Structure 1
Amino acid sequence: MFTLPAVDDSEVWVALSSQQMEHEIGLAGRIEPFETSVLNAPFEGMVMAHELSPGMPVEEGQALLSFDTALLEIKVRDALANKLKQQQVVESFRTWTNGPDVARARRSLRVAELAMQNLDLELSQVETLYQKGIVPRNERDSLKHQRYLQALELTAATSELETVQAAGKGEARTIAEMELHNASIIHEQLNALLAHKTLYAPYSGVVLSLGSPQPVSGEAVTLHKGALFTMGQQVIKLANMSGLRVVTQVSESDVSKFSLNQEVRITAEGFPAALSGYISAVSQLAVPDQNEGSAARFPLTITVNQPASGDFKLIRLGMSAQMTIVTYRNDNSFIVPHAAIEKEGDSLFVEYREGPDAPAVRRAVTLGQSTAEGVEVFGVESGYVRVK
Structure 2
Amino acid sequence: MKHWAPLWGVGILHLMTKLRAFAHFRRKTRWLVALVITLVAGAAIAYVYLPSSTDTSSQKQWVRVEPQLLENRLGLVGRIQAATSLTIAAPFEGVIADVVVTEGQRVKRGQPLLSLDTAQLDIQLRQALTELLKAQRTVQDLVEWENSQDVARVRRTLTNAQLSLSDTERKLVDTRALFERGIVPRMEVDTLEQQAKVQRLDLAAAKEELNATLDKGTGENRQIADMELANAQSRYQALQVQQAQRELVSPFDGIVVRPLVQGSDKALSIQKGTRVTQGAPLFGIINLEQIQAVARIEEADLHQLYEGMPVQITGDGFAGLSLQGQIKTIGVQGRSSESQGAGVNYDVLVAIDPLTPEQRQRIRLNMSAKLAIVTYRNEHGLAVPAGALRQGPDGQIFVTYRRELRDPAQQITVTPGYAVPQGVEVVGLDAGYVEISGQQ
2:384 aligned to which of 314, 326, 334 = 334
Q: Which range moves more in the overlay, 73-82 or 187-196?
A: 73-82
Matches within 5 A, 1:306-345: 306=355, 310-324=358-372, 333-337=383-387, 341-342=390-391, 344-345=393-394
Contact 1:246 1:302 in 2 (8 A): yes
Matched letter for residue 151 of structure 1: R
Contact 1:276 1:305 in 2 (8 A): no
State the 1:83 CA deviation: 1.9
Distance verdict in 2 for CA 1:362–1:184, change over 3 Å: closer
Three-state SS of the structure 1 residue aligned to 2:292 is: strand
**Separation in structure 2 between the aligned mates of residue 263 and residue 117 of structure 1, nearest angstrom:** 97
Contact 2:89 2:283 in 1 (8 A): no
Matched letter for residue 324 of structure 2: Y
**Separation in structure 2 between the aligned mates of residue 371 and residue 170 of structure 1, nearest angstrom:** 78
Distance verdict in 2 for CA 1:127–1:326, change over 3 Å: closer
TM-score by length of 1: 0.74
Aligned to 1:239: 286
**Separation in structure 1 between the aligned mates of residue 406 and residue 325 of structure 2, nearest angstrom:** 49
Contact 1:44 1:71 in 2 (8 A): no
Matches within 5 A, 1:154-233: 154-165=203-214, 167-168=216-217, 172-173=221-222, 175-177=224-226, 179-210=228-259, 222=268, 224=270, 225-230=274-279
Aligned to 1:8: 51
Matches within 5 A, 1:293-372: 294-301=343-350, 303=352, 306=355, 310-324=358-372, 333-337=383-387, 341-342=390-391, 344-350=393-399, 361-368=410-417
Contact 1:350 1:386 in 2 (8 A): no
**Separation in structure 2 between the aligned mates of residue 64 and residue 18 of structure 1, nearest angstrom:** 62
Matched letter for residue 204 of structure 1: D
Contact 1:221 1:229 in 2 (8 A): no
Matched letter for residue 337 of structure 1: G
State the 1:353 CA deviation: 6.8
State the 1:280 CA deviation: 0.9
Three-state SS of the structure 1 residue aligned to 2:191 is: helix
Larger proportion of helix:
2
2:84 aligned to which of 24, 36, 40 = 36
Contact 2:115 2:246 in 1 (8 A): yes
Three-state SS of the structure 2 residue aligned to 1:239 is: strand
Aligned to 2:198: 149
TM-score by length of 2: 0.67
Q: Deviations over 1:51-98 (max 9, x none)?
A: 655532112221112344455445433432322222232333355445
Matched length: 372
% identity of equivalent residues? 29
Matches within 5 A, 1:276-295: 276-281=322-327, 283-291=329-337, 294-295=343-344
Aligned to 1:384: 435
Three-state SS of the structure 2 residue aligned to 1:313 is: helix
Q: Does 1:254 align with 2:305?
A: no
Q: Deviations over 1:319-357 (max 9, x none)?
A: 22334556567886431438x744545323455677899
State the 1:166 CA deviation: 5.4
State the 1:196 CA deviation: 1.5
Matched letter for residue 334 of structure 1: V
Matches within 5 A, 1:129-140: 130-131=179-180, 133=182, 135-140=184-189
Q: Which has the higher contact order (CA 8 A, sep 6+)?
A: 1
**Separation in structure 2 between the aligned mates of residue 88 and residue 303 of structure 1, nearest angstrom:** 56
Q: Alignment RMSD, CA only? A: 4.3
Three-state SS of the structure 2 residue aligned to 1:184 is: helix
**Separation in structure 1 between the aligned mates of residue 125 and residue 265 of structure 2, nearest angstrom:** 29
Aligned to 1:101: 150
**Separation in structure 2 between the aligned mates of residue 60 and residue 261 of structure 1, nearest angstrom:** 31
Q: Which range moves more in the overlay, 355-364 or 52-61?
A: 355-364
Unpaired runs of at least 5, structure 2: 1-48
- Largest Rg, 1 or 2: 2
Contact 1:53 1:210 in 2 (8 A): no
State the 1:200 CA deviation: 0.5
Aligned to 2:5: none
**Separation in structure 2 between the aligned mates of residue 369 and residue 113 of structure 1, nearest angstrom:** 104
Matched letter for residue 152 of structure 1: L
